[in-house]
Amino acid sequence: MPSIAVLPGDGIGKEVINEGLKILNFMGEKYNLNLKFEEFEVGAERYLKSGELIPDSLLKQLETFDAIYLGAVGDPRVPSGILEHGILLKLRFHFDQYVNLRPIKLLNDRFSPLKKKGVNEINFTVIRENTEGLYAGIGGILKKDTQDEVAIQEMISTRKGVERIIRYAFEYAKNLKGKLTLCDKSNVLTYSHGLWLRVFEELKKEYPEVQTDHYYVDAITMKMVRNPEIFDVIVTCNMFGDIITDLGAELQGGMGLAASGNINPNSVSMFEPVHGSAPDIAGKGIANPIAAILAAAMMLEYFGRKDLAEKIEDGITISIQENLLSQDMGGNLSTSEVGDEIVKILKRG
């Protein structure tokens, strides 16, 4: 009886989470999943009303759930960084969700932005470190607002942190019988990514069956565009993982299609679309809900129901084949109509 804390958040976060819940409710009834949902308000409205981001009492409550299902946070009325740090990163850090799993899978050749690269070529997973690196929030500003101002943002890599994410990636690649690629910038970030490279070389010896290779982050962006078929699993640091997964989202057909899981198998994991609150289209009912629905599918897989996650993905694939699309994909369906159509397809199967 998995219990899910639902945090719709801001902007299109609320709109797309509604559709994810529509699909989860349908699957829950059809397959007797007995899913329990409880919704919590976090985000701009709460912050503007009360100054609260995530109070400790709410964190304590969230600890009692099996998973968190999050929309997105971010609002033009709130200075950049407050909601992102105070809510999203706070949750990832508090629950020590050290794995950010971001599959990059094109579902239909028509939506490939690349000539001659289709569903057989664009299918890999980025495993992004999710609790350290440039996101650790360590640094400061000296002589603020003077000509001598210095801003420092430290990149933290701990052996424990680097080893656990690279090990997770080796295990993932091993299960997939795939290749593991390390993406770093160890030619310049010799301390932080020097450690990544050393740990990668050490763990390679423990996984002789896993084929490996290594690209610097600048070169990997070239390869992702020119030869995406060479990748199965990419492991990388927090910052680079953020950047290359937006590129990956476009390879999949757009930001409206990219899902992610913030995972710690021994804590509370959190599932969310890769995209943000999209203030430019929020409130119009036109956001693509597929990323949020795929994130819901990842959550079911995490609960042990890979079979149902596959059914949802198949349903989405059919909806795309049948041109039941939102505007970002060239269609004219609203957010909720896309959700309704996917439910209709799931009812058929």
The contact set with ligand NAD (CB under 6 A) reads 12, 16, 72-74, 84, 88, 255-256, 272, 275-281, 287-288, 291, 328
Figure out which of the listed residues 121, 129, 184, 242 binds Mn ion, where binding follows CB under 5 A.
Answer: 242
**Smallest distance, Mn ion to C-beta of residue 257, A:** 14
Q: Does 274 bind ligand IPM (CB under 6 A)?
A: yes
> Given the complex with ligand IPM, which of 35 and 88 has the nearer CB atom?
88
**For residues 47 and 38, what is the distance between their CA atoms, to the nearest angstrom?**
20
Select from Mn ion, ligand IPM, ligand NAD, none the partner in contact with residue 287, using the beta carbon and a kind-dependent cut-off of 5 to 8 Å: ligand NAD
**Pairing state of beta strands 67-72 and 150-153?**
unpaired
Q: What are the helix (H) ranges across the chain? A: 12-30, 44-50, 56-62, 82-83, 90-94, 159-176, 192-206, 217-226, 238-252, 290-302, 306-321, 335-348
Q: Which residues pair with 184 in a beta bridge?
A: 216
Interface characters, 225-244, with ligand IPM (x: CB under 6 A): -----------------x--
**Smallest distance, Mn ion to C-beta of residue 249, A:** 9
Which tokens in the block code for residue 151? 């801003």
Q: Does 84 bind ligand IPM (CB under 6 A)?
A: yes
The answer to whether 17 and 292 have CB atoms below 8 angstroms apart is: yes
**Smallest distance, ligand IPM to C-beta of residue 46, A:** 17
DSSP-based three-state secondary structure for 270: strand
Q: Does 16 bind ligand IPM (CB under 6 A)?
A: no
Helix (H) or strand (E) holding 34: none
Distances (CA, A) of 338 to 257, 285, 328: 13, 11, 12
**For residues 308 and 301, what is the distance between their CA atoms, to the nearest angstrom?**
7
Cβ contacts of residue 26 below 8 Å, gap of 6+? 343, 346, 347
**Smallest distance, ligand NAD to C-beta of residue 84, A:** 5
**Smallest distance, ligand IPM to C-beta of residue 136, A:** 13
Q: Which residues pair with 169 in a beta bridge?
A: none
> Given the complex with ligand IPM, which of 246 and 310 has the nearer CB atom?
246
Our measurement of the distance from residue 17's CA atom to the centroid of its chain's CA atoms, rounded to an integer in Å, reads 14
Q: Does 78 bind ligand IPM (CB under 6 A)?
A: no
**Smallest distance, ligand IPM to C-beta of residue 83, A:** 8
The region of 81-89, 157-165, 214-222, 330-338 touching ligand IPM under the rule CB under 6 A is 81-89
Q: Which residue's Cβ has the minimum distance to Mn ion?
A: 242
The answer to whether 261 and 191 have CB atoms below 8 angstroms apart is: no
Figure out which of the listed residues 35, 44, 88, 224 binds ligand IPM, where binding follows CB under 6 A.
Answer: 88
Q: How many residues bind ligand IPM (CB under 6 A)?
A: 6
Positions in the binding site for Mn ion (CB under 5 A): 242
Positions in the binding site for ligand IPM (CB under 6 A): 84, 88-89, 242, 274, 276
